[in-house]
Amino acid sequence: MKERTGFVPGAADGQGGPQGSSPHDGDVRPQQGWPRRRGRWHYRPGRWARGPRIDGPLRRRRDDRLVAGVAAGLAARTGIDVTVIRIGFVVASLLSLFGVAAYVVAWLLLPAEGADGNIGGRALTDRRGIALAAGLGSLLCVLFFIASTVGAGWLGSLAWPLVVSVAGITLIWRNAPADEQAVLHRLVGPVLGLAEGGRRSRSPLRIAAAVLLLVVGLGLLLAGRTPPALLQPVAGVVLVMAAIVVGLGPWWLRIARDLVMERQARARAEERADMAARVHDSVLQTLALIQRRADQPQQVIQLARAQERELRSWLFDGPPPGSVAGQAMTLAAGVRLIQQEVEAQHEIAVEAVTVGDCELDDDLSALLAAAREATVNAAKWSGAPVVSLFAEVEPAEVVLFVRDRGRGFDPETVPGDRKGLAESIHARITRRGGSATVRSAPGEGTEVSLVMPRGAGRRQPSRPARA
């Protein structure tokens, strides 16, 4: 155990101080060459650097992560305060980009908490991903080579960490689970947006910059009264660059196209998941209801008609079923709508309470759709006469609770094909950066807590009509 804390060597031993949880520290420490750390005046500075420590293998934490949970995992494993480790990473990144590279490698190699393998393992089977990473890496290598021949040798110190980081991030991007991709998207999105937005708004700006650079460069070259002999190496560099572009250009183009196709495929997959969730919310739910009321033909007809209307309006014009957007403009109105609909379709009273209110955006609509699903679940399965729905709008987030005092269940034993909980509620919320937890036990009722950060939805709307 002690040996494995060596991931951050200096920090682990230097600032950890005596650990309350491991009684052997006193014996080990003097041999590590810092006997004075135990002195009184060092004891206090050590204290703030300590956090709670968890034994067990090193894992990336899901609950306390800024990017991928590497720092939090290290903190939990070594007992050093997570802030200290984060500062360490940032400082290492500022010095030489080494911190970024180390972080990316750790992201690839450390399994996430609760997952059964690391991303690197999955990436090994992803041939296109490896080709992509290799392509981007080689492109960077060539760029650095050119940079060093033109004399910008200082760039060379950044080369390796950058190559490693870019290749690593490419692999992570292709192989990470959805929630981590969302994190990546949030981090890298602005950079990509800069490059892509050029097509429309920034393109005059870019052309202007290119012309300016060209003019200044040519001006410097020609006005400097340089003897033509000195221009020779420059010409050589230009020729080498041209050769590289001609030789490797098509390959890079293909990689770029792959990247675009990759993004489109991802958007399609997301759309499909959303569609599945919606069909589940509407059609499958109604079918289940019809089965349960098979002895009441009047109600069955009524349900079928309502469902038909809803499905038609979704297919041919209006808002999708199960979504409250389009009908409700604010969160409180959306909650009221859920209350009315569920009370009308199921024999249950919905006690809806909202505190505060705000405009609906895509994220909050997803939150409401998940809440509706949770309420319908309670109506169908709990057996309770009342389900409570509570939403509170806070400055930074919206929290929503759906609670019943019905028969409850054991969340561990829900079969995988029962999509309601997993897909409609959990995935729908986490896809958009929120969180969903279910608290239930047989006989004790169920409470679903949903949290959605506000204003996190500045990412591009994920379902534009371009497909």
Partner 1 sequence: MPGSPASGGDRPRVFIVDDHGLFRSGVRSELGDQVDVVGEAEDVAPAIARIAECLPDVVLLDVHLPGGGGQNVVTATKAAHPQVRFLALSASDAPEDVIAVIRAGARGYVTKTISGTELVDAVYRVAAGDAVFSPRLAGFVLDAFAALAPAVEGRQTFDPELDQLTPREREVLRLIARGYTYKEIARELYISGKTVESHVSSVLRKLQLSTRHQLTRWATERRLT
What residues line the site for partner 1 (CB under 8 A)? 349, 351, 353-356, 385-388, 390, 392, 401, 403-405, 447
To the nearest whole angstrom, how small is the minimum distance from the Cβ of residue 431 to partner 1? 25
To the nearest whole angstrom, how small is the minimum distance from the Cβ of residue 382 to partner 1? 12
CA neighbor of 334 nearest in space, from 367, 299, 298, 290: 367
To the nearest whole angstrom, how small is the minimum distance from the Cβ of residue 438 to partner 1? 14
Quick one: 373 or 447, whose CB is closer to partner 1? 447
Quick one: 89 or 401, whose CB is closer to partner 1? 401
Helices (H) and strands (E) in the chain, counts: 18, 5
DSSP string, 266-279: HHHHHHHHHHHHHH
To the nearest whole angstrom, how small is the minimum distance from the Cβ of residue 457 to partner 1? 23
d(CA 244, CA 176): 33
Quick one: 406 or 457, whose CB is closer to partner 1? 406
Say if residue 298 is exposed, middle or buried (CB neighbours under 10 Å; 0-12, 13-18, 19+): exposed
To the nearest whole angstrom, how small is the minimum distance from the Cβ of residue 355 to partner 1? 4
**Total residues found in the chain within this entry:** 467
To the nearest whole angstrom, how small is the minimum distance from the Cβ of residue 308 to partner 1? 30
Structure tokens at 29: 């420490």
Task: Give the HSE-up count for residue 370: Cα atoms under 13 Å, Cβ half-sphere.
Answer: 33
To the nearest whole angstrom, how small is the minimum distance from the Cβ of residue 401 to partner 1? 5
Quick one: 97 or 360, whose CB is closer to partner 1? 360
Give 329's contacts (C-beta < 8 A, 6+ positions apart).
359, 360
Quick one: 82 or 425, whose CB is closer to partner 1? 425
Give 44's contacts (C-beta < 8 A, 6+ positions apart).
none
Quick one: 230 or 329, whose CB is closer to partner 1? 329
Quick one: 196 or 397, whose CB is closer to partner 1? 397
Are 215 and 109 in contact, with CB atoms under 8 Å apart? no
DSSP code, position 30: G
Sign of CA dihedral 228, 232, 233, 236: positive
